[in-house]
Structure 1
Amino acid sequence: MINSHKSTFNNFEERLSNALRAKEISERQKIDTLEVKSYISLSSIYRDNGNVNLFLKYSHKGLKLASKINETSLLAQINKSLGYYYYDVMVDSAYYYNNKAEKLFRGLKDKFNTAVVLLDISILQRIDKDYTGSELTSVEGLSLLDQLDETEGVKKYKSYFYNNLGIVFKELSQWEESIKYNNRALDIKKQLQGNNKATIDNQKNNIANVYKNSKDYDLALEYYNELLSRKNLINDRPDFYAMVLDNYAHTLYLSKNLEQLPGLYLKALSVSDTIDDVYNNIILNLHLAEYYNDLNKKDSAKYYAYKAKGISKEFSKDTYLESLLVLSKIEKDSIAVKYYDAYIELNDSLIKNERSIRNKFTRIQYETDKIEEENIQIAKERMWLLIISVVVILASFLLYLVVTQRNKNKELQFIQKQQETNEEIYNLMLSQNESIEEARTQEKKRISEELHDGVLGRLFGTRLSLDSLNMGTTADAIKTRGEYIVELKTIEEDIRKVSHELNTDFVSGSGFIDIIKTLVETQTLAYGLHYNFEHDGTINWDGVSNKKKIHIYRIIQESLHNIYKHANATQVSISFKLKNNVICLIMTDNGSGFDVNKAKSGIGLKNMNSRIKEINGIINITSEKNIGTKVTIEVPIP
């Protein structure tokens, strides 16, 4: 994915352009994980730019897709981001998303991010005055960080947890515990790399506040003086300067040291007004109201008290509650009672609201835990389903292997028996062929001897006799005898030629046809059939493999058997023809015929098809009821 982190790009437009391009590529390529990451990147950019609507849009799109593809790490990251956003917007939503993120990170065994989310949860609990819950959550977060290496990130978040614990114990008025954790936070912050002056100053202000609330005013003033002595603090951090100056002034007020008052208050108020710091403005107005009320300057006290009330009504219920209490002390009679009653009513409402929120937090945590338990149960059920499915698949596969192996064994046994039968037929064919060849050779030898010793001898004697008569002196006698002698020489040469050819093995390859003819004669005689046998003398059976010859022999044998067994025929015709180097065997009968489609599953036809397949041939069977059947087989010679 194209990197859109703001450390890489210097401006919003460049970051946004690259993030949108990454989204477009991931959506086009349909790579879900990268698509979710592009949504996270876009939501982060829009959040940094203050575009809340687009931040929420892409956050929830990422959340939906990450849930669909079950990307736990990305789900945790998005929930964490949403929890951080709702921190200042909607407390229960912040708690909801943080709680989900915490469960997800914990499931991933990501201790660091689990602790980071626990920090947000602990601060939310503290803000809603669930101090015990905040303390327990902080301790849990610290225990997770203690299990990790002491990196900068780990140390920084430890300081945040210690700071939160310091504030919690301050609210619980446990001053020593508060000082202890504040000092731990301060010690860690001093060890961190980089410029940490601001965060160190914040921690010192927190320590000073604890001392102020515990009435150790001298130590509080010492810390405040140290902070106010910082050069350019008013320019670098005017809001912090106004807060510290107000704390310093208020500590003087509490310690009854009023010499610099109200000047310090007014100076701090002037800085707050300049930078429009609403919260500090409210607190300063309340402090001034208390100060003038103690001096019995009611008009000034009322001025600042009502000013604080007016600002805080739309800003913060806590500061508005405090302004009501201050007015109940400044005003008299029924007005004082009215503000005190309003204070009581609002305080009760806030307490109920805090209790309701705490209950809601508990319910959210319960529901989240319940969902997690359900998810674990679903995961277990899915695991068992997967295991059972795997077992069933394996068992089915093994059963398939067993059945297949048995079928293969049967097929091998059948092929073996078929091979043995083929060998027997081949041996029989060779034996029969040898007998035929031997008889043929003997016959040729007998004819040759008869021609050579009988006819040729007599012709030779006649030629000699005529040759002796050639002594006649008449012209006609000499001519006649000469013609007879020439004719006899011609006859002698022809007989020699015939004798020589008869003594040569000139009928090579004709033995297979003789074997087939013998088979047909034998089978038709046994089956009571009349036959007609034709063959093409141009077929070179010597060029045909023994395997093909054997299968052709067996096919003819199987066909004759089927005709006898099923056809009730009286006549069968068998012919061999050669077409384009392909041997065509045609067998017809005048039997009862049959339905070819229904008979395809018969053993006889299966065997014939199997044999044709073995020799790369083609078989075609046509049949008509009460007319007969025609079997055409084509076998290539090569």
Structure 2
Amino acid sequence: MMMKKIFRLFQNKTVLKYLMSILIFLIIGCVIYLFKSPKYEPTIKKKHNKSEIRKVLNKADILFDSYELNNSYDYFNKAQLLCDTDIYYIEYVYAITCMAAIEQMQGDFVASEILLTKTLPHLKKIKKPRFAANVYEQFGANYYYTYDYKNSLLYYQKALHLKTSTFRKIVVLNSISQIYLKQNKVKLAESILIPLSKIKTICKENKNVNDYEYARILDDLGLCYHQQEKPEAINYYKKALAIQLRLKNNYALLYTYLHIAEYFQLSNPQKAQPYAKKAYFLSNELNDASNKLQSLKLLTKTSDGQNLKVYTTQFIQLSDSIEKIRTTAKNQFARIKYYSKKDKDENLQYKAEKVKNELQLERQKNRNIISYIILFFTAIFSLFLFCYLSIKGRKEKNDAILKSEIRISKKLSAELAHDVYKTLTFAENIDLTKEDNKEKLLNNLDAIYARTRNISKENCTITTGKQYASDLKEMISGFKTPELNILLNGFDLILWDDIEKNKKIVLYRILQELFVNMKKHRESTLVSITFKITEKNLIIIYNDNGIGTKNSTPNLKNGLQNVENRIKTINGNIIFDNNSEKGFRLSFTFPL
């Protein structure tokens, strides 16, 4: 039932007209929107590949190994800024950990801890436990240097519980023993260091690293015995010293020299002094101000006379210098941190813009999807409507053909059947050998032929090209007889080529039907047709002297209904003259 109503609605030409207008408007609107709508493109993502990050990290590592800490920090900072933490989180954690180590070496333990905290969210993504171990060990060292031994021990134990190599576990255990020494838990430290000292192979991969860690354990064990005032302390110091001299590890040598100097400081100052001097020279070479100050302190305690005065002066000057150096270092690091924060803020701004652009892109994408859906359904509906109108048009065309055939059939029946019947009857009942009868039969056949030709012309295809004017004249002339005279006024003044094809066809049919109607219903002997153009309108005035229409409405059924219907199809209008006593008059107008 609903479908029938819809199809009935589509049969309304006004509805179809508005519907097509809406569909065209929708299609044009969607196309304009898709092509003219602003295209939001995401902020160009920084293209930093792994090799570029690795290159910066390698440079930072080289500077770090050369003890150029400020420059090294700068490169590690650049590396971490290059890292997309969703992709290069390992490189990011490594860079941050190294920056934290430099902060720690510079004595800024708070800054070191802040940096290390940044790594915590990414540690769970890294399968290799050594990165987490590095972070925990540095946390432990920071707390160790700030005398928070409880938290230091906690983080070293966290590092110890990770599934790391034996070598790394030994390093962590050694660090734990140092915490116990600071807490005066000497026995606990000793219980760790003695078993460690019996391990000959600490690092299988690198003999130098193996020997370095072994020497460090011996040195720490010597320190453990030293705190207990046990004489075997010097033996462990000397064993460690022998290994370090062979390895030429100046940093390790420096600490062992200081430990030996401290060991002999009270019992034998003369023996302590050479070790203190060696520590002093090494600290100078390494540019290690803190240990240089410590070695000068030992030299002042083990010297006398002029040497005491010199060392004391140097100690005071170095103390002042260290304060200035630390202030300068803090300023330099403050500058680096400022630029680091600035870069971080820029990155945050970039990320915010990226999120904003992605949101705009998503909205744009949704709008485009909606537009495509509208276009799709509009296209489907337009196709359906096109098919429907095509089928409807074919049906109307077929109906028109059928109606035309029925009309022609009726006309043939009405106009020819009687004449043909009379002619056949006449031919059957008279003697055709007589000349008069034969002439009459021929006249009847000519009349039938003329009627047939006229009907054929009424339904033939109308040419609308260059031949239109001559064909129209020929059609009009076809109605002219000895009894009927036809006058054309202004016909040749009309520019027929400028008139639209459909209007030419309508005009042809109207005039044709007027003549047919005139011959059937009015006994005219004269017909006048006037053609003129006024204000871009073509006016045709028809007059004949047949039966008039005074005070009566023309019988529209007598062919004139078609005339009125046809003129309306080209937006024209028709006027009948009802006041004519003799003859018939009408005029019709349509725009050019």
TM-score range, shorter chain: 0.5 to 0.7
Q: Tell me the residue number matched to 2:74.
A: 93
Task: Please state if 1:211 is matched with 2:180.
Answer: yes
Task: Please state if 1:267 is matched with 2:269.
Answer: no
> Cα deviations across residues 531-565 of structure 1 (Å, max 9, x unaligned)?
8xxxxxxxxxxxxxxxxxxx97765447999x964
* Alignment partner of 1:131 out of 99, 106, 109: 109
> Cα deviations across residues 35-61 of structure 1 (Å, max 9, x unaligned)?
xxxxxxxxxxxxxxxxxxxxxxxxxxx
The 8 Å contact of residues 162 and 185 in structure 1, kept in 2 or not, is answered as yes
The 8 Å contact of residues 174 and 217 in structure 2, kept in 1 or not, is answered as yes
> Cα deviations across residues 66-120 of structure 1 (Å, max 9, x unaligned)?
994457xx77997698568636363432553466478x53xx5999998777655
Q: Tell me the residue number matched to 1:171.
A: 145
Q: Tell me the residue number matched to 2:230.
A: 257
**How far off is 1:199 after superposition?**
1.1
Task: Please state if 1:246 is matched with 2:227.
Answer: no
Change in Cα spacing, 1:553 to 1:234, as seen in structure 2 (3 Å) is closer
The 8 Å contact of residues 116 and 139 in structure 2, kept in 1 or not, is answered as yes
* Alignment partner of 2:253 out of 270, 278, 281: 281
Q: Which runs of 5 or more structure 1 residues have no equivalent in the other structure?
A: 1-65, 460-490, 532-550, 571-606, 608-638
CA–CA separation in structure 2 for the residues paired with 1:509 and 1:308: 134
CA–CA separation in structure 2 for the residues paired with 1:414 and 1:177: 86
> Cα deviations across residues 328-365 of structure 1 (Å, max 9, x unaligned)?
55552442134213421442134214422553464245
For residue 322 of structure 2, give the secondary structure of its aligned residue in structure 1. helix
> Cα deviations across residues 577-628 of structure 1 (Å, max 9, x unaligned)?
xxxxxxxxxxxxxxxxxxxxxxxxxxxxxx9xxxxxxxxxxxxxxxxxxxxx
**How far off is 1:366 after superposition?**
3.4
CA–CA separation in structure 2 for the residues paired with 1:430 and 1:564: 35
**How far off is 1:243 after superposition?**
1.7
Amino acid corresponding to residue 223 of structure 2 in structure 1: H
The 8 Å contact of residues 241 and 253 in structure 2, kept in 1 or not, is answered as yes
CA–CA separation in structure 2 for the residues paired with 1:435 and 1:124: 113
Change in Cα spacing, 1:359 to 1:424, as seen in structure 2 (3 Å) is same
For residue 230 of structure 1, give the secondary structure of its aligned residue in structure 2. coil
The 8 Å contact of residues 277 and 299 in structure 2, kept in 1 or not, is answered as yes
CA–CA separation in structure 1 for the residues paired with 2:338 and 2:289: 25
CA–CA separation in structure 1 for the residues paired with 2:488 and 2:324: 114
Task: Please state if 1:230 is matched with 2:168.
Answer: no
> Cα deviations across residues 497-552 of structure 1 (Å, max 9, x unaligned)?
x99xx99x998995566574689746998974558xxxxxxxxxxxxxxxxxxx97
The 8 Å contact of residues 43 and 357 in structure 2, kept in 1 or not, is answered as no
Change in Cα spacing, 1:445 to 1:162, as seen in structure 2 (3 Å) is same
* Alignment partner of 1:340 out of 277, 292, 315: 315
CA–CA separation in structure 1 for the residues paired with 2:134 and 2:79: 17
Amino acid corresponding to residue 172 of structure 2 in structure 1: Q
Change in Cα spacing, 1:440 to 1:556, as seen in structure 2 (3 Å) is same
Aligned ranges 1:75-474 → 2 under 5 Å: 82=56, 86=60, 88=64, 90-94=71-75, 96-97=77-78, 100=81, 104-105=84-85, 108=86, 119-120=97-98, 122-135=100-113, 138=116, 153=128, 158-186=132-160, 188-189=161-162, 192=163, 196-233=165-202, 236=207, 237-259=210-232, 261=234, 263-291=235-263, 294=266, 296=268, 298=270, 301-302=273-274, 305-306=277-278, 309-310=281-282, 312-314=284-286, 316-330=288-302, 332-360=307-335, 362-364=337-339, 366-375=341-350, 377-379=352-354, 382=357, 430=405, 433-434=408-409, 437-438=412-413, 439=415, 443=419, 450=426, 453-454=429-430, 456=432
For residue 152 of structure 2, give the secondary structure of its aligned residue in structure 1. helix
CA–CA separation in structure 2 for the residues paired with 1:553 and 1:333: 127
**How far off is 1:308 after superposition?**
5.2
Amino acid corresponding to residue 349 of structure 1 in structure 2: K
Amino acid corresponding to residue 322 of structure 2 in structure 1: N
CA–CA separation in structure 1 for the residues paired with 2:243 and 2:488: 128
> Cα deviations across residues 216-265 of structure 1 (Å, max 9, x unaligned)?
4443333222111113459851111122222223333444334452x543
Change in Cα spacing, 1:142 to 1:310, as seen in structure 2 (3 Å) is closer
Q: TM-score, length-normalised on structure 2?
A: 0.54
The 8 Å contact of residues 330 and 336 in structure 1, kept in 2 or not, is answered as no
**How far off is 1:168 after superposition?**
1.8
**How far off is 1:183 after superposition?**
3.0
Q: Tell me the residue number matched to 1:32.
A: none
CA–CA separation in structure 2 for the residues paired with 1:278 and 1:339: 22
CA–CA separation in structure 2 for the residues paired with 1:95 and 1:384: 33
For residue 256 of structure 1, give the secondary structure of its aligned residue in structure 2. coil
Q: Which runs of 5 or more structure 2 residues have no equivalent in the other structure?
A: 1-41, 463-470, 479-485, 493-499, 511-530, 541-569, 571-592
The 8 Å contact of residues 209 and 247 in structure 1, kept in 2 or not, is answered as yes
> Cα deviations across residues 471-507 of structure 1 (Å, max 9, x unaligned)?
xxxxxxxxxxxxxxxxxxxx9xxx99x99xx99x998
**How far off is 1:121 after superposition?**
5.1
The 8 Å contact of residues 269 and 281 in structure 1, kept in 2 or not, is answered as yes
Q: Tell me the residue number matched to 1:534.
A: none
Q: Tell me the residue number matched to 2:549.
A: none
CA–CA separation in structure 2 for the residues paired with 1:301 and 1:350: 27
> Cα deviations across residues 392-435 of structure 1 (Å, max 9, x unaligned)?
98999999999999x99999999999999979986785466446
CA–CA separation in structure 1 for the residues paired with 2:360 and 2:137: 49
Change in Cα spacing, 1:229 to 1:377, as seen in structure 2 (3 Å) is closer
